[in-house]
Structure 1
Amino acid sequence: MTEVLTETAAGSRWCATMPLAEAESQRLAALYRYGVLETGAEPAFDAITELAACICGTQASLISLVDRDRLWFKARTGFDGDCDCDSAPRTHAPCAQVIELAGDRPLQADPAGDPRFAAHPALGAAGGWRLYAGAPLVTPQGWAVGSLCVLDRASRSLSSRQQQALRLLAAQAVAQLELRRANALLDLQGNTDEVTGLWNRSAFERRLAQEWARWSRHGGSLALLAIDLDHFKHFNDVHGHSLGDEALQQAARGLEGELRGHDVLAHCGAGEFSVLMPSTDPGGALAVAERMRSALAALPWAVEPLTASIGVAVAAHGADVEPSALSRRAHRGLTHAKAQGRNCVELCLE
């Protein structure tokens, strides 16, 4: 079991307990809601690490977000050429210990001499760091999603005032994450398709670029589906746009029912939908596409039945150099599906 520190509406704090696996799942969900992983440098976060290093008198500072099995650095100061990576393993990381403790005082340790952290390739003995001090980044709901830390190669400790300053700056980092998320939600209002409530084409293309960057760095698999309702223009011409909009809404709900929580579905115009599926190989993508095709064919359509043709593409290192290449292959698969008589799924490998 683990304790979760939660703020009430009145501002008081209380502890709840839940199984470790459930707590970690909810903590990761809180992190992912910020949509900040794999994003570029931002002055507000860079300024926080600069201030932390200056106030604490240390050589370096990091804003580290703790993902499932890695640390991802949103901002860093003072590393020069010592650390040109944007992530590091979570195992043996002092930042991971910070979120587990999530106490009122920063964690302080000598990474080179502390057996818990000495083996970490970036923050342990290999980096030559003799001081690590980290304060947790705790969301308003009580989830510790990362840390603001300072590091120094001199063996020393922070004063009580420096520790307090580090905690306050960590709170400012969370405030920036909250502001960033609020702005993203406002942006989303302008990126939502009015008919279906799904993402529109421009929002989908931005998300594709983000997932592409993640896939390019860390590998795995990334699938894209191009879906087109068969003869939808004829449907609109015969039954009118009002019933056409109702059909699009019904199709959207049918497609959503076959998706996982982190898949992305967008209405990209007329009868066309797109689906982005991280961590999905060709076999998995084909299986989902076939379920979608079957689900749409089985819907209780109000006027007349509609079916869909679906093109499938999966990103391949060496073959795809930009996200538009993946989209083009998915649409070639869609063209092949239509040529086969429609109401079918085709995988395009090249």
Structure 2
Amino acid sequence: MAQVSSGTTIAGAWSGAAMSPAEAESQRLAALYRYGVLETGSEPAFDAITELAACICDTQASLISLVDRDRLWFKAQTGFEGDSAPRTHAPCAQAIEQADDRLLLADPAGDPRFAAHPALGAAGGWHTYAGAPLVTPQGWAVGTLCVLDRTARSLSSRQQHALRLLAEQAVAQLELRRASALLDLQGNTDEVTGLWNRTAFERRLAQEWTRWSRHGGDLALLAVDLDHFKHFNDLHGHPVGDEALRQAAQGLEGSLRGHDVLAHCGAGEFSVLLPSTDTGGAMAAAERMRVALAAVPWVVEPLTASIGVAVAVHAADIEPIALTRRAHRGLTHAKAQGRNCVELCLT
């Protein structure tokens, strides 16, 4: 098949900005990563696009191929095995460098630039490739919608036009997916601290509880309450109180592991979910949080916290609310001990 190409760089073609190839590639990857789609599972909307592309173009295979730093990752595929392939020598990588929305039409097995690719070149046996770039509204080409066939053949002008239209629909689905994720994030996020809110935390707790119930292991929960926060708020006002909450959230979050879950559940209350954590680990985490608050550069005056600790027990716990109640009983004990301390509740 004939090659359609251009010497214009990605930056000049899509963004209109004057930047080096390295800067353009960094911006392009950032645009791809904002979709949060890499390594996600199959989704009917994307699967339907590849099925339609293969059907309309009368080819044996079709892919939605996202061009990552060193690889192609396939969000959807029809008639093709595997979920990724090397970026080097890949026609999809060449297709995103074109200066407009023209297709890249090539024979991957016969073109020396692509023949060495282990999945799409001579070893793969594909002799027809047509790829339409997936161009974001901001002008970055993040991948392709392509069709493949093991027989050398041509696509009609109508088929090429249809492939470009389907590529636009693939981008529309990426945008819709991102917008939905942002709305979901907003609904799950506390406005003051930026942490998860109570609803999101309870949903995550239910998920971790189900996993723990089935597979065993350890699971701990901490109930954290800033000492005398109501008095602090009344004395200094809510704007200062909100800033103190943000400072507390940063201090607490900085003491946790990446997979721990911290949520602001109202007023001066925080909840912490510690997956794969036994009693000793939970007590150590709680003490780290208490010490971390002492190091916070508080906006007006220092705040401390009382912390209740609970660990899931198979023989006693049949629902996640049992763990929550036990953590709050530990919190009550910590307050009774004079506050600014950690208490474990076993029953």
- Interval containing the TM-score (normalised by the shorter chain): 0.5 to 0.7
In the alignment, structure 1 residue 109 sits paired with structure 2 residue 106: yes
Aligned residue in 1 for 2:302: 304
In the alignment, structure 1 residue 153 sits paired with structure 2 residue 153: no
Matched residue type, 1:176? Q
Q: What whole-Å deviation, never above 9, does each CA across 1:128-161 have from its counterpart, x for those lacking one?
A: 1001110000001000011000000001122222
> Which runs of structure 2 are paired with 1:1-350 in the superposition (5 Å)?
2-4=9-11, 15-79=16-80, 83=81, 85-200=82-197, 232=226, 234-236=227-229, 239=232, 246-252=243-249, 266-267=262-263, 269=265, 270-272=269-271, 297-306=295-304
Matched residue type, 2:30? A
Q: What whole-Å deviation, never above 9, does each CA across 1:188-228 have from its counterpart, x for those lacking one?
A: 22111244133347758999xxxxxxxxxxxxxxxxxx998
Cα distance in 1 for partners of 2:296, 2:137 equals 44
Cα distance, 1:252 vs structure 2: 3.2
Matched residue type, 2:45? A
Matched residue type, 1:177? L
* Matched-pair contact (CA < 8 Å) for 2:9–2:98: no
Q: Name the SS of the counterpart of 2:139 in structure 1.
A: coil
Matched residue type, 2:119? A
User: Structure 2 unaligned runs (5+)?
Assistant: 1-7, 205-220, 276-287, 308-339, 342-347
Matched residue type, 1:271? F
Percent identity of the aligned residues?
A: 69
Matched residue type, 2:150? R
Cα distance in 1 for partners of 2:259, 2:18 equals 30
Cα distance, 1:236 vs structure 2: 3.5
Cα distance in 1 for partners of 2:241, 2:53 equals 56
Larger of the two Rg values belongs to structure: 2
Cα distance in 1 for partners of 2:22, 2:255 equals 25
* Matched-pair contact (CA < 8 Å) for 2:53–2:147: yes
Q: Name the SS of the counterpart of 2:152 in structure 1.
A: coil
Q: Name the SS of the counterpart of 2:55 in structure 1.
A: helix
Q: What whole-Å deviation, never above 9, does each CA across 1:30-76 have from its counterpart, x for those lacking one?
A: 11111111111111111111111111110000001111111111111
Matched residue type, 2:263? H
Matched residue type, 2:122? A
Q: Name the SS of the counterpart of 1:118 in structure 2.
A: coil
Matched residue type, 1:107? L
User: Structure 1 unaligned runs (5+)?
Assistant: 8-13, 208-225, 277-289, 310-341, 344-350
RMSD, aligned CA:
4.3
* Matched-pair contact (CA < 8 Å) for 2:65–2:73: yes
Cα distance, 1:78 vs structure 2: 1.6
Cα distance, 1:271 vs structure 2: 3.3
Matched residue type, 2:63? L
Cα distance in 2 for partners of 1:3, 1:275 equals 44
Cα distance in 2 for partners of 1:167, 1:266 equals 44
Cα distance in 2 for partners of 1:275, 1:139 equals 38
Cα distance in 2 for partners of 1:206, 1:155 equals 52
* Matched-pair contact (CA < 8 Å) for 2:251–2:292: no
Cα distance, 1:103 vs structure 2: 2.9
Cα distance in 2 for partners of 1:28, 1:275 equals 32
Q: Name the SS of the counterpart of 2:88 in structure 1.
A: coil
* Matched-pair contact (CA < 8 Å) for 2:263–2:272: yes
When residues 31 and 3 of structure 1 are mapped into structure 2, their CA distance, relative to the original with a 3 A threshold, is closer
When residues 307 and 125 of structure 1 are mapped into structure 2, their CA distance, relative to the original with a 3 A threshold, is farther
Matched residue type, 1:104? D
When residues 268 and 275 of structure 1 are mapped into structure 2, their CA distance, relative to the original with a 3 A threshold, is farther
**Please, what TM-score do these two structures have when normalized by structure 1?**
0.64
